[in-house]
Each structure stands twice: as structure tokens, then as C-alpha cells.
Amino acid sequence: MIRRTKVLTFGPAEKKMPSAKTMAKNVIKDGGSILKSGFKLVDSKTFDQRIKTCTDCEHVRVRGEEIRCSICGCYMKRKARFEVAKCPEKKW
């Protein structure tokens, strides 16, 4: 039996995401920087501040536990952990 569950949304969840091509470019660019940095991570306080900034941002798209940036298309709970990661709007 297939069960359908309702996805909880808040904030501007309908925000349009970047094109697949743009997101692929972002993944390659950010992935390269993260790789060069040796996968260095931020401390939990910095991570929490970044997530708080994203959660309050007009460009965020939230679905359940998922927090995505509608500018870069990244999943912020993953991206914000890396020291070299940057907000495309320079908010962090």
C-alpha cells in the first residue's frame, strides 16, 4: 500500500529554483573549493548562525526539514557546514 504524506512548507516554498545547468555549475564550482580546502568544516555555532540567516532570508525555500537557497539551488544544511562555502548574496 502506498501512503501519501503531506509535505509541510513555510516561507516562500514556491520560489523558482535556478536551472539545472546553473545548479550543476554551482555544484562543480563549490565542490572544487570544498575539495581544495580539504573538506574543512565550521564549528557548530557558525553553522547555526548560517542556518538561522538562511531561514530568515527572502530567498530560502523550505520543505519539511529541507532548506534550499533559491539563488544557488544548494541544500543549505549540507553546504553551510563547509568553511569555504559562501552565500551567493554575501549574507554569510
**CB of 5 or CB of 15, closer to ligand SF4:** 15
Distances (CA, A) of 76 to 2, 3, 32, 65: 30, 28, 17, 11
Residue 52 CB, shortest distance to ligand SF4, in Å, is: 9
**CB of 78 or CB of 91, closer to ligand SF4:** 91
Interface residue list for ligand SF4 (CB under 6 A) = 53-54, 57, 59-60, 69, 71, 76, 87-89, 91
| Residue type (1 letter), 13 | A
DSSP 60: E
